[in-house]
Structure 1
Amino acid sequence: MQRGLRTSTPEAPGAFASFVRFVILGGGVGLASSAGVALLAASLPFALANALVTVVSTILATELHARFTFAAGRRRGGRGLLRCGLRHHLQSAGTAAAAFAVTTLAMLVLYAFESAPSLVVEQTVYLSASALAGTGRFLALRLYVFATTGKRPSPVTLDLHRPPTRRELLTTAS
């Protein structure tokens, strides 16, 4: 690369495109996790299989979201297999833990009011809580974990010894 020249980096996708990617990638990892737990549970205790799959799937989902959902992986130089730093993985794990807490709380509240809910009621509550938690997780990842610090225009300073230009007037008025 020549001195003084910068390579352009792709812009992060818009909110709708990011949300669609989040649902597709997160859903894909979720389906793969379900299969992984079933396979591992055949030879390991279920709790251990679930814990292993949860850790691996959270790391995988964080990497996929960084690279494709929010395009954060494209803005950094490649650092081997994992492109996200420890901070991203810990924050993403925190959002996953919060989503788990929301769905668990929703189910506990359901069982507190209805000791034997029908399958339809149970799934409606669980899926509604999952949708709410997933939307919250998406917002946390987009607005906080993978937020970009875009360049802001420098503030316009006015020289009091000359009249401001039209551009300076329009910039300061907005």
Structure 2
Amino acid sequence: MRKAFTLIEMLISVTILSIMMVFLYKSYASLNSSNYFLKKELNIIKSQQLKKRVVFLDFSLALDKKVNIINQDSHVDVVFMQSSNSLHRKYNPYVAYIVKESKLYRLESLQEFKEYPLNQDSVFSIDSLGEVDSFRVYKSNDNLKEAYLIHAEFKQGEEILLKVKVLED
């Protein structure tokens, strides 16, 4: 009876162990790369959904059925409204969507936006929604229900196309 391993048996077991470690390391590296890719895609989807949610809530919670749409050119509209949706914890803020240098901005203020370009003494909070190729808002012709079609085409290839009906009080 033997009480110890031979040198050949030890070499074979070390070789098998090292082969297993190489495969485990490769699978671990593959898992890390797929996790990185999925995390990046998840952040992109979260960003898109957040933009859609903000635009949807602004238009669906618009107050006084007073949404002012100013057409700047064939690809850009400027929108002024009052909404009960606030990102900066303001009570019934006035909201504006403005495209400046191909970037879509959401402005939120306690003072009403009356004209574009804005006054220099205006005070508001700014949120950038990203670079856009076009931002258009169309109002429904139906007088019974106030609805809007919002189309924003971003440079990264994403697109927002929403039909939003203003909620009744």
Question: Do they superpose with TM above 0.5?
Answer: no
TM-score normalised to structure 1 length: 0.23
Relative contact order, CA 8 A, sep 6+: which one is greater? 1
The higher radius of gyration belongs to 2
More helix per residue: 1 or 2? Answer: 1
TM-score normalised to structure 2 length: 0.23
